[in-house]
Amino acid sequence: MNSMTGFGRAEIRKKDYRLQIELSSVNSRFLECVFRMPRVLAGVESRIKELVAQSISRGKVTVTVNLEESPASVSAAAIDPDIAEAYYRQLKRLKKRLNISGDVELGHIIAQPELLINSAKGLDEDRLWPDVQRSLLKAIAELQKMRGEEGRNLKNEMSRRVKRAAELVQTIEKQSPRNVAAYKARLEKRIKELGSEITLDAQRLAEEVTIYADRSDVTEECTRLRSHFDLFLGTLNAPGATGKRLNFILQEMGREANTIGSKSIDSATSTYAITLKEEIEKLREQAQNIE
């Protein structure tokens, strides 16, 4: 079981450049890739996403690629005069059209990144892709390692919470008969306190107690919750992406816990029901981070 949170990094150094790839992932319902890369690598985004999708099924993955040319490579750069002249003419026309005073200066032109060309080997996506691929696979492996470690921690924590929730369900079940007996005792005491004004009718008392018992009975809900707990724990140990299934099971748990809360007439059961819903909500928050 993997978390959707993690980080991975890899780097390759060559004679004329240094390539570094960083991957960070956070929660998302589906796989989403966000790219922060130099323009020269814009054409390989789809290939990068394909490689990421081979290992990751859910999560928002930010792919950051840093490319630094060596001083020797940068020194071989030159300015393309044709592009410079084109920018100059366009800026002159724009200045005239907008009625802007002043001259077009050299700084306005050389600020354009397209002006620089590499008169040496040139760095393009075809040349860079093999190194990008190797670095990316290393970064994905590191990212997955961290996601796996975080997933194991979440699994242990969620298992403890399910155990706590199961203990609460058991307490609620044990409390239910005591609530009925306490309700019957309160009715009898109240009737005796009224004295001779009211005659104790055993049949009527039994009917009232039966109605109370039916309204407060949570046996079915507790049985279904135990079944959901078993299914949840089994899913935690299942291979592959299990986050969506865990969230579905938690929805069913929440419905049963809400029903128990609505049936809780006495304060003790109400308190246990609230605590149970809190545990399920904490499980839901943690499951949002499971792939």
Is pLDDT of 148 > 90? yes
Give the pLDDT score at 150: 94
The CATH 1.20.120 domain(s) of the chain lie at 149-287
The CATH 3.30.230 domain(s) of the chain lie at 6-73+126-148
Give the pLDDT score at 124: 78
CATH class of 6-73+126-148: alpha beta
Give the pLDDT band of residue 138 (cuts 50, 70, 90): very high
Give the pLDDT score at 152: 94
- The residue among 77 and 258 whose pLDDT is bigger is 258
- The architecture CATH gives domain 149-287: Up-down Bundle (1.20)
> Tens digit of pLDDT for each residue in 115-130?
655 544 467 788 899 9
> Tens digit of pLDDT for each residue in 162-184?
999 999 999 988 877 665 566 56
Average pLDDT, the chain: 84
Give the pLDDT score at 130: 93
Question: Could you give the angle at which helices 125-194 and 219-236 cross, rounded to 10 degrees?
Answer: 160
> Tens digit of pLDDT for each residue in 28-43?
989 999 999 988 888 9
Is pLDDT of 73 > 70? no
User: Whole-prediction pTM value?
Assistant: 0.68
- Average pLDDT (49-78) is 82
